[in-house]
C-alpha cells in the first residue's frame, strides 16, 4: 500500500529525511514539490520523473482523488473502444475489467516499484492516470503534445467521498473531523486540494490544447455535451452518423454508475491492494455533502476555497 515505507530506495530515504513531514491515521506524509505524498507513492513519483518516456499520442487522466476519476477513465476507454472494429460477441473491456485495471495510475501502479516498467501491453494511444499536480506531471511531458484531461469536483463532495472511501479502506467507520481538518489545512494526501486544482486550471489557461479542464458537476448536468467535448479534445469526435445512431447515449449508458456498479467484475473484483472495486462506486451525486457536513464545516470550506481561487478566474 501507498502509505507504507517498504518500497523506498536509499536515495529516497535520504531525500525524505530532508522533506517537511506530517503523520495521519495511515502513516507519514512528505511534502515534495508542494504536494503531500505517502512514502511509497513518493517513490512512485520519483520513479516516474526519472523514467517516464512520453509518446506523442499519450493521454493522461488527472484528478484529485474522489473527483470522478473512475467515470473519466470509463468514458475515455469507451470513446477509443468504439473506434475499433469489434465483432458484436466480443466482450467490451469495461464488462470484464474495472476502469482502474485498464488505465493504471502512474505513480501508484506502473511506477511504484520501478522507473522502467514494461509498457508494451499498451496500444496507441496509451492512456494513463495520475493524482500528481500539474507542475510535477509536466516535468517529463514538457515540449510533447501529450494530452491531459483533468476532472475537478466540488471540494465538499470530495471530502464526503474521501471519508466513505477511507472507511472502506480501514474497514471501520472513521470520524469525518480529522479528514475535514487536514483538508482545510491542506495537508492530506495529494493536498492542498486547491493547489492541485489551480495547477491544472493554470495549465489549461496556458495551453488549452494540452489540458482539458472538466467538472464532475457539469458531467452530471450535461453529460452529452461534456462527453462530446471530451471526444473532440481527444481527437476522436463523434461523427454525424454516430450521433444519429445514438452512440453518445450508448457510451453514457455503458459508463453510468448504475451500469458499471452492477457488473460482476465491479461487484466482486478487487484491485492490487485488495480493495474491492465496489468502493469506487457509491452515490455519484452532486451535493451529497448536505447530508454529512454541518453548516459550520460547509462555511469553513467555502471561505477557504473562495479565498484560494480568488483572482484565478476559476469559478467557485
Ligand atoms: P461518491 O462517493 O460521492 O458517490 P474517483 O473515481 O475519483 O475515486 O471518485 C469516486 C466518486 O465518483 C464516488 O463519488 C463515486 O460514486 C463516483 N463515481 C464512480 N463512478 C461513477 C460514474 N460512472 N458516474 C458518476 N459518478 C461515478
Does residue 3 or residue 20 have the better pLDDT? Answer: 20
pLDDT score for 204: 97
Residues 148-161: pLDDT tens digits?
999 999 999 999 99
pLDDT band for position 170 (cuts 50, 70, 90) = confident
Q: Rounded mean pLDDT of 290-300? A: 97
pLDDT score for 41: 95
pLDDT at position 83 over 80: yes
Q: Domain extents for the chain?
A: 53-309
pLDDT score for 37: 96
Query: pTM surpassing 0.80?
Result: yes
pLDDT score for 90: 87
Separation of CA 2 and ligand 1 centre (Å): 21
Asked whether 158 lines ligand 1 (CB < 6 A), one says no
Q: Is the CA virtual torsion 292, 183, 105, 252 positive or negative?
A: positive
pLDDT score for 238: 98
What's the rounded Cα separation, in Å, for the pair 180 and 159?
7
Mutate to test the pocket of ligand 1, among 67, 102, 257 (most ligand atoms within 8 A of CB): 257
pLDDT score for 26: 81
Asked whether 266 lines ligand 1 (CB < 6 A), one says no
Asked whether 290 lines ligand 1 (CB < 6 A), one says no
pLDDT band for position 3 (cuts 50, 70, 90) = confident
pLDDT score for 46: 97
Residues 16-50: pLDDT tens digits?
999 999 998 888 999 999 999 999 999 999 999 99
Q: Is 74 exposed, middle or buried (0-12, 13-18, 19+ CB in 10 A)?
A: buried
pLDDT score for 88: 77
Asked whether 281 lines ligand 1 (CB < 6 A), one says yes
Residues 87-140: pLDDT tens digits?
778 899 999 999 999 999 999 999 999 999 999 999 999 999 999 999 999 999
- CATH code for the part of the protein at 53-309: 3.40.50.300
Asked whether 173 lines ligand 1 (CB < 6 A), one says no
Mutate to test the pocket of ligand 1, among 68, 160, 179, 279 (most ligand atoms within 8 A of CB): 68
What's the rounded Cα separation, in Å, for the pair 187 and 168?
21
pLDDT score for 38: 94
Nearest CA to ligand 1 atom 14: 284
Residues 202-235: pLDDT tens digits?
999 999 999 999 999 999 999 999 999 999 999 9
Q: Grid cell 473527483 — which residue?
A: 67
Q: Which atom of ligand 1 is nearest to the CA of 164?
A: 2
Chain-centroid distance of CA 251 in Å reads: 20
- Evaluate whether 238 touches 247 at the Cβ level (below 8 Å): yes
Residues 202-211: pLDDT tens digits?
999 999 999 9
- Evaluate whether 162 touches 294 at the Cβ level (below 8 Å): no
Separation of CA 282 and ligand 1 centre (Å): 6
Query: Which residues are annotated as catalytic?
Result: 131
User: Could you report the predicted ipTM of this complex, rounded to two decimals?
Assistant: 1.00
- Evaluate whether 217 touches 238 at the Cβ level (below 8 Å): no
pLDDT at position 310 over 80: yes
Separation of CA 178 and ligand 1 centre (Å): 22
pLDDT at position 2 over 90: no
The mean predicted confidence, pLDDT, of the chain is: 95
Asked whether 250 lines ligand 1 (CB < 6 A), one says no
Separation of CA 231 and ligand 1 centre (Å): 20
Continuous segment of H or E residues that includes residue 28: strand 28-32
Asked whether 33 lines ligand 1 (CB < 6 A), one says no
Amino acid at each position: 500500500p501507498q502509505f507504507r515505507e517498504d518500497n523506498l530506495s536509499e536515495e529516497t530515504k535520504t531525500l525524505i529525511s530532508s522533506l517537511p513531514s506530517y503523520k495521519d491515521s495511515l502513516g507519514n506524509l512528505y511534502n515534495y514539490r508542494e504536494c503531500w505524498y505517502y512514502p511509497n507513492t513518493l517513490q512512485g513519483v520519483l520513479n516516474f520523473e526519472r523514467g517516464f518516456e512520453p509518446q506523442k499520442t499519450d493521454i493522461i487522466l488527472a484528478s484529485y482523488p474522489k473527483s470522478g476519476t473512475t467515470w473519466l477513465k470509463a468514458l475515455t476507454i469507451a470513446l477509443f473502444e468504439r473506434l475499433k472494429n469489434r465483432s458484436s460477441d466480443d466482450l467490451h473491456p469495461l464488462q470484464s475489467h474495472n476502469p482502474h485495471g485498464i488505465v493504471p495510475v502512474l505513480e501508484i501502479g506502473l511506477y511504484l516499484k520501478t522507473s522502467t516498467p514494461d509498457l508494451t501491453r499498451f496500444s496507441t494511444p496509451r492512456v494513463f492516470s495520475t493524482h500528481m499536480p500539474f507542475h510535477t506531471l509536466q516535468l517529463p511531458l514538457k515540449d510533447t503534445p501529450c494530452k491531459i484531461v483533468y476532472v475537478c469536483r466540488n471540494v465538499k463532495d470530495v471530502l464526503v467521498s474521501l471519508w466513505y472511501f477511507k472507511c472502506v479502506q480501514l474497514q471501520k467507520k472513521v470520524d469525518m473531523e480529522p479528514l475535514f481538518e487536514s483538508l482545510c489545512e491542506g495537508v492530506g494526501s495529494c493536498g492542498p486540494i486547491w493547489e492541485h486544482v489551480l495547477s491544472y486550471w493554470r495549465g489549461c489557461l496556458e495551453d488549452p490544447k494540452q489540458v482539458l479542464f472538466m467538472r464532475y458537476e457539469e458531467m452530471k448536468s450535461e453529460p452529452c455535451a461534456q462527453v462530446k467535448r471530451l471526444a473532440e479534445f481527444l481527437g476522436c469526435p463523434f461523427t454525424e452518423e454516430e450521433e444519429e445512431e445514438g452512440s453518445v447515449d450508448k457510451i453514457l449508458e455503458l459508463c453510468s454508475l448504475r451500469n458499471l456498479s452492477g457488473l460482476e467484475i465491479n461487484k466482486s473484483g478487487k484491485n492490487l491492494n485488495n480493495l474491492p472495486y465496489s468502493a469506487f462506486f457509491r452515490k455519484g451525486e452532486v451535493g451529497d455533502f448536505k447530508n454529512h457536513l454541518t453548516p459550520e464545516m460547509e462555511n469553513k470550506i467555502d471561505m477557504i476555497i473562495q479565498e484560494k481561487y480568488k483572482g484565478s478566474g476559476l469559478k467557485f
